[in-house]
Amino acid sequence: MLKKYPDLYSLIDQEPEADQFYNSLPDYVREMISQRATSVNSFESLQNYADNLLQGDR
């Protein structure tokens, strides 16, 4: 089952894998994700949002 959190900060505080993934992202991607912290409530949503932001870099 997908674990949901109140926001990005709760997610990365409680899930080491999510924290490691978030910290591996480029600064501009982390900044954009943090601007929508309340919309990021699971590791899956974090990955999906990061993938969407990074698509332009490929």
Q: 7-32 pLDDT, tens per residue?
A: 999 999 999 999 999 999 999 999 99
Q: Could you give the CA distance from residue 5 to residue 29 in angstroms, rounded to a whole number?
A: 20
Say yes or no to pLDDT of 42 above 70. Answer: yes
Q: Could you give the CA distance from residue 12 to residue 20 in angstroms, rounded to a whole number?
A: 8
Mean of per-residue pLDDT scores for the chain? 94
Residue spans per domain, the chain: 8-57
Full DSSP string of 17-34: HHHHHHHHS-HHHHHHHH
Say yes or no to pLDDT of 57 above 70. Answer: no
Q: Could you give the CA distance from residue 26 to residue 4 in angstroms, rounded to a whole number?
A: 24
Q: Per-residue pLDDT averaged across 30-49, rounded?
A: 96
